[in-house]
A and B are shown apart, each in its own frame.
Chain A
Amino acid sequence: MPPAVARPQWWSWLPRLWPLVALIAIVVVIALAASFAPAVLQRRTTQGLINLIAVVGLYVFVGNSGVLSFGNVAFMAVGAYVSALLTMKAAAKSVFLPDLPPVIAHAQWPSLPGALAGGGVAAVFALIVGWPLMRLSGVSASIATFAVLVITYIVLGNWTAVTGGQNSLMGLPAYVDLWTALGWAIAAMVIAFAYQETRSALQLRASREDEAAAQASGVDVVRHRLTAFVISAFLSGIAGVLLAHFLGSVRVENFYLDLTFLIVAMLIIGGRGSLTGAVAGAVVIAVLTELLRQIEIGVPIGKVTIGAPPGVGDVILALIMLLIILFRPNGLAGGRELPWPFKRV
């Protein structure tokens, strides 16, 4: 008698998609909880969700290829400036940037096409710079992505006719609220998860584990790295767009070393090997930063307020990152996705 074959149940897709579903559920719960909180906390949560998108964007490249990138904040900057220039009111642009080419000067796009254009231009930028860079071996490629960050910073900071140089671009439509950020965060997680299930990403992961063996098995490492780099840049670009339209202004200084440090630290602390790690890092560090901010403001004990000196949060963040890499190099998530909590059928 042949063994009985279990009929596929209507939820049989759930175990495979479980990590994605669970992570989305967690993020939605956080956002819903924040929507009942005071306005300040709501804004912090929105910013936290934008950071989450940036970390997920970085993860798409770093997690799948195993090559650390310091350049993703450059893609955030590109996205931010592109969307800012396309969506700002033409009147505001003629004041701040009188030397703009007429095509851009008259553009006044709605927010969604502007955001997609920001991500798109960032992706094209990644395609162009990634083409030579992805040929480099692991650590050299990391350093080269750092060079991309520096170049972008220098060009954006000095291209006064188009970016306003070191001055802030102000008067952007500040349309990003909690729900916009939540929507994009869900979209980013879906894109990252869908990508890592593709054949290309699996081949890339094989090269991450053993580059020589993967190449010997016919994996075109450079091509798959480039694919991951471009998708990663798109998501980072979107994160930059959202940050710009959340703050209502763009300043090149905001898209440099400090943001790079924050995003990289979040990914490393959470665990660079899995989407769960990326999300966990963003959430844990956001909560921790908020606590440290409270400590910096001061804790009232009796009649005196004891506060830590400002800047102590950054030192602690760097220290945590160092301890994680020394004692748990794969981060909090340990390179694994959230496991399916029930017995598999």
Chain B
Amino acid sequence: MERLVQTVVDAVSVGSLYALTALGIGLIFGVMRLINFAHGELITFAAYTLLALFGLPVPVMLFGAIVVAVALALITERAAFRPLRNADPTTLLISSFAVSFFLQKLLILVVGSRLKGLDFLPVLGHQIELLGIRLQLLQVATILVSAILLIALTWFLQTTRLGLQMRAAAEDFRMARVLGVRANRVIAMAFALSGVLAAAVSCLVVVQTGVVQPRMGLQLVVIAFVGTVIGGLGSLTGAALGGFLVGATSILLQALLPPELRAFREAFVFVAVALVLLFRPQGLIPARGLKERI
């Protein structure tokens, strides 16, 4: 019983981590039809900010990580994506691929490619007892942080003016512009929000793994991409759900597969994804207004 609950909590916490990552990607895709590879570098740069600020009070470190991720998101938007706003999705994809590798290689050039240990918030490594079941504090914290961010994001999108404009832009960008939505403001806001999400993911991952490394963001993002695709590109609920499913499935497979097959668990996840796509090529929750109208 205890083992079962622990596994489920583990699956939910990893699932929510990927849901947050996928949500950051989904936000940008919604307003710009851009699949943002560079989202991974937002995560990586936030993690290196934590490393650089290590020793300062924790709130300062967190603040620094958020500032860096948001600033980087806004800079990449301004420099690499705004000039291509009317380009086709493949051109945008290539641009984000180039941005991602540029930032990654730049980081390697400056700090080297070896991984570095970072003992951030070691208190979260402790175990707590909840209703007689021992859980790692980090997993509970991950679930809580994800839930809070998810609720805050939903509140923002549902009740504020800018949130409404963002949803309108995601549904039909041209129509939204015609009705007076400021494109630059909405898109910049989406990038800033994705920066905040990236910083949150970054902090949680650093606590969990205890290391930073120039490739860390890309590894997370590739899996989250697949989550957004099976959830249904362009649908935020779909992105969160897809990311969650991919993360949770990988943990459940880790627990259920025989030991000699465990190393392959991500391969099994991706095979499951291929099967989902075979039956639902538009994803689990297809987005409205994505199919081009002729």
Residues of A within 8 A of B (CB): 66-68, 129, 132-133, 135-140, 142-144, 146-148, 150-151, 154-155, 158, 212, 257, 261, 264-265, 268, 309, 311-312, 314-315, 317-319, 321-322, 325-326, 329
Contact = CB atoms under 8 A, between A and B. Distances in A.
A155 B264 contact: yes
Contact of A326 (B89, B90, B95, B294): B95
A143 B108 contact: no
B83 interface: yes
Contacts of A158: 263-264
Contacts of B84: 325-326, 329
Nearest to A157: B263
Interface in B244-294: 263-264, 266-267, 270-271, 273-275, 277-278, 281, 283, 292, 294
B229 interface: yes
A142 B93 contact: yes
A144 B271 CA distance: 11
B105 A322 contact: no
B266 A154 contact: yes
B175 to A, nearest CB: 20
A135 B278 contact: yes
B99 interface: yes
Contact of A136 (B35, B91, B264, B277): B277
Contacts of A312: 109
Given A132-B274, A142-B90, A322 B106 contact: no
Contacts, number: 121
Contact of B271 (A137, A151, A212): A151
A337 to B, nearest CB: 21
A268 B90 CA distance: 11
A144 B242 CA distance: 14
B109 A309 contact: yes
Contacts of A148: 270
A150 B222 contact: yes
B266 A68 contact: no
Contacts of A135: 277-278, 281
B99 A322 contact: yes
B226 interface: yes
A314 B87 CA distance: 26
A253 B282 CA distance: 33
B54 interface: no
B155 interface: no
Q: Closest 9 interchain pairs by CB?
A: A318-B102, A158-B263, A322-B98, A314-B105, A321-B98, A132-B278, A318-B101, A311-B109, A139-B89
Given A146-B225, A151-B266, A155-B267, A322 B80 contact: yes
A201 to B, nearest CB: 18
A212 B294 CA distance: 8
Given A138-B90, A139-B35, A261 B264 contact: no
Nearest to B263: A158
B74 interface: no
A321 B278 CA distance: 33
18 contacts: A66-B90, A67-B90, A129-B274, A132-B274, A140-B229, A142-B35, A144-B226, A147-B225, A154-B264, A155-B264, A264-B94, A268-B94, A314-B105, A318-B101, A318-B102, A319-B102, A325-B95, A326-B83
A96 B106 CA distance: 38
A151 B267 contact: yes
Contacts of A311: 105, 108-109
Contacts of B277: 132-133, 135-136, 140, 144
Nearest to B223: A150
Contacts of B218: 257
A146 B89 contact: no
Given A147-B273, A311-B105, A322-B102, A264 B281 contact: no
B241 to A, nearest CB: 16
B229 A143 contact: yes
Interface string B98-116: 1101100110110000000
A154 B263 contact: yes
Contacts of A67: 90
